[in-house]
Amino acid sequence: MALKPGLQYDQITKELIGTTETVDITYIKENPVPQPEHLKDVIVKEADVCVITSLDNKISLPVGVDYLAKGQSGQGVFDMVVERIRQIQTCKNCLQIKNKNNVIIDTECCQPNMCEDCNREGGICDRCREVGITSSHAAFRPCQNCFQNNIKCEKCAVITYVSDCEQKNKTALEKFASEDLPPFLTQLIPMPDAVHVCKTTDRGAYNWWLYAEGQRFNLILLRTLRNDPNENIRNQMKKAVSMRAVRMRDRMDFNCVLEVCSSGVIEILDQMECYVLHTLLPDPFLVWDNNKKALSNPMAYCVGPFGHILVSNINPPKVVKVQLHQPVNVGVIFDKLKLKKPVSITYADNEGITFVVDSKIGIYYHDIKGSTIINEKLMNVTKLKDTLVDLGILERRDKVTRPNLIQLLHDYQDNAVDPQTKADNGQGKLQMVNDGVVMPTTITSSSDKLLYICGFNAHHQIQVDLSTWETDRFSIRSVTMQKIVIPHCGMISGLCLNANNLYVADLKHGITKVTWNDDEVYIDHVPGVTEPIHSVHSICIVEENLYFTDPDANAVRCFNLNSKVLSILAGKINTMGNTDGSASFCKLGQPTGICTEKKTLFLTDASNGRLCLITNPQALAQFLKMLQLVLKTFGIHSSGQQAYKCTIEEAISNIGIADAYFQGCTQDILQNVFHMSINHTNGPEGTISQKTQESITMLKDSLIAIKDLCTEEGFSPDILNMQSILTLGNERLFAEMRSGHDQTPQVLDFAQRFGKAVTESVKRRVNCGFSYYTSRKTTFYPLADQDKNKICDPTFRIPKPQTQTLSVEERCLMKNYRNEYGRAVKQVTVRNLSTKDKPGTLPLYCYLQEREVGKIVDLHTVYKSTAQDIVDIPTHSNHLL
């Protein structure tokens, strides 16, 4: 629990409480002016409470607290937990003999009784079995003192250590799982807290657009559906999930997680028969400086490096790279070039090269990855040296500094590279070796270094050039291999390659298919597409469906290549608008560019200046089902509902299913996207974080280990209550300590409340002449199960410190010291703060961005001006090859 850092004057001990050191009058006189850095290191900022819970969840009691200052590492947590477990496992007899106050354990009074033969054999030796010892684990054996005196040894055995997934705690869990432990800890099973695992899993699906089975999904889709133009879906979603849950501002409120993965939400998503359209840019909900009105008239789309989308904008002319974070991150590329009219864009994934068509100037390229074109800004000393060795400028044994390496590279470029073609920071103009398209209008690429360039030739004819591109590490040039004239076309605006078929989008005449069959080329219009539509700007293909934008009709259409059926995917015919939601009910302005990442579609709306995503909600539903399965397994439920009881075999099966789902998503991306070039994935790669994946796997392994330990020790695994291996005891304790207090406690406040909380916790478990609980509900967190056989009356009393005396002058000195160097400041909670969703003083609705319908871009003028700019160059007649 976080504490308010600061010093408080204790009237009883006459000390300043709040640091890991004893600050009394002697300390103050010896250190009248403390060092700021030293004070930062010793002032307490956190209270770490230890709560023990029986496996059957009948008893849950707080037993200790550690006050932590700055800079505790995973090793520090590991050492602290080892010491606390050693103290908890002290037997009753040793406590009564060596701890006079019978409350606070401060000495190592209970030595484990270990047998060398048992350790060597890995089981119970004959000698130990004869004296009645039934276990090889020290925690289940009598201690040395009780064994020697033939006394019954009664003690607690710590089976599991459960902690949240904060980095230092996660490191400690991993150390417990991987290192050789002391004899009294051989039975210990480390386990991450399922509540915190679900929180981090849920947060991953809110911060990033995750990827599963070809679909992108994010929890922000639930907020989009709460505002759906379809009244039926809108009302159902508002009833199933609250605005507080879909905003996810309070990162510590677990109610939000329970709401978003409730059965009602999943049922709505499962029953949806249409796709969902969501605006990525500008973000309709989370507005910040990087995602405001970034684009005015986006024209073309293409999928860039995995997790990124590349977009060209014609007014003002620029190309941006959009990372699929939520909200999206936007960065400008081609920053070294002065573009005039970027109308088309494509990305060669294997080489990391982006090609953009500027209909006024030509074709430009940008090496985004820095692996094809030499760019010293993206190269370290090793890569620079390897490059110079390959060029024959340097010997590998030469020792040269980075500035000298860069100078050698510049000298080579000045002497051996044509300055007219040389790339600038990986950016340059594509050099076309032989005659081809004079004024390109659109481009696409394939994985084998092939470019398909379409535009006007010197005779004002529409022509497609099949070109291959090559590089000398300083520039890129293309060589035209084949030229194809497309008859009866007016304004080509889009290309899409599918197997041996090239689909050509014409604003006036629909879609034309160019087919390569051996050495022959066939050109034909796609039947069923040309007549019912207004115009075609861009096209893409997913399996047997051909999707294309119809900017004049304000819609995205779908044409099934097998059944020849034409349908509406998104938007309403001849209805302009700017709304998100169910694809068949949303409204578009002027859809232009469209591209696909497997089964997810990305769309540009030129008139409204927005970038949209169209996805199937089933992917999100499947993710929420897995999250719900983990919650159900551990009996985590909303207030007012009954916890689900499951056996350990069922729990292992359920967590195994969830683990297989998340591992399957990761392996799919590693194998099919990155081709095993990386070892793990995180949010930018479209999965939950690696740490969260490891925590889910650790949950499954820990449950298996608990089952095996129960079988080994001869007691039934069915005694395990899944709620007993959660940190609900800690959360319940903290909720009670916060009750009636609206300020974050300081160390002294916490210590005073903690003693009362411990006493009240014991009262609930003892035999007394009254009923402790008079109301069913105390806090949100469920209580431990009530046990009829309560523990005996406690004989201990928490010892009170002895009262000290100080003179008036000394008391004034201590209080002045506190006021000058240790007064606490007002704490600002981070639970309800966000850099991208800042609340103001007005109602939330007042901060929503007004979604205006933009002005239509005259696409015919854009492409018509291109044809008029052609200079008629005398050349031989072009013909269909």
> pLDDT tens across 116-148, in order?
777 666 677 777 777 777 787 888 888 888 888
Confidence of residue 217 (pLDDT cuts 50, 70, 90): very high
> Which residue would you say has higher pLDDT here, 88 or 602?
602
User: Quick one: average pLDDT of 836-858?
Assistant: 66
Instruction: Judge whether residue 664 has pLDDT over 90.
Output: yes
> pLDDT tens across 670-697, in order?
999 988 888 999 999 999 999 999 999 9
> pLDDT tens across 485-499, in order?
888 777 888 999 988
Rounded CA-CA distance 131/232 in Å is 73
User: Quick one: average pLDDT of 379-407?
Assistant: 85
Instruction: Judge whether residue 881 has pLDDT over 50.
Output: no
pLDDT at position 185: 87
User: Quick one: average pLDDT of 722-740?
Assistant: 80
Instruction: Judge whether residue 663 has pLDDT over 90.
Output: yes
User: Quick one: average pLDDT of 619-623?
Assistant: 96
pLDDT at position 786: 52
Q: How many other β-carbons are positioned within 10 Å of the β-carbon of residue 167?
A: 11
- Token pair, residue 6, equals 């600061």
End-to-end CA separation in angstroms for the chain: 75
> pLDDT tens across 543-556, in order?
899 999 999 999 99
pLDDT at position 223: 93
> pLDDT tens across 639-657, in order?
778 888 889 999 999 999 9
Contacts of 792-798 with C-beta under 8 Å, sequence gap 24+, read 792/766, 792/767, 793/766, 793/767, 793/768, 794/762, 794/766, 795/102, 796/101, 796/102, 796/103, 797/103, 798/103, 798/755, 798/758, 798/759
pLDDT at position 793: 47
pLDDT at position 875: 36
Q: Across the strands, what pairs with 604?
A: 611
Predicted TM-score (pTM) of this structure: 0.88
Q: Across the strands, what pairs with 16?
A: 9, 23
Instruction: Judge whether residue 396 has pLDDT over 90.
Output: no
pLDDT at position 792: 45
Rounded CA-CA distance 768/794 in Å is 11
* Percent residues over pLDDT 90 in the chain: 30
> pLDDT tens across 448-493, in order?
889 999 988 777 888 888 899 988 888 898 888 888 888 877 788 8
Burial class (CB in 10 A: 0-12, 13-18, 19+), 224: buried
Confidence of residue 530 (pLDDT cuts 50, 70, 90): low
Rounded CA-CA distance 615/221 in Å is 10
Of the candidates 649, 662, 715, the one whose C-alpha atom is nearest the C-alpha of residue 688 is 662
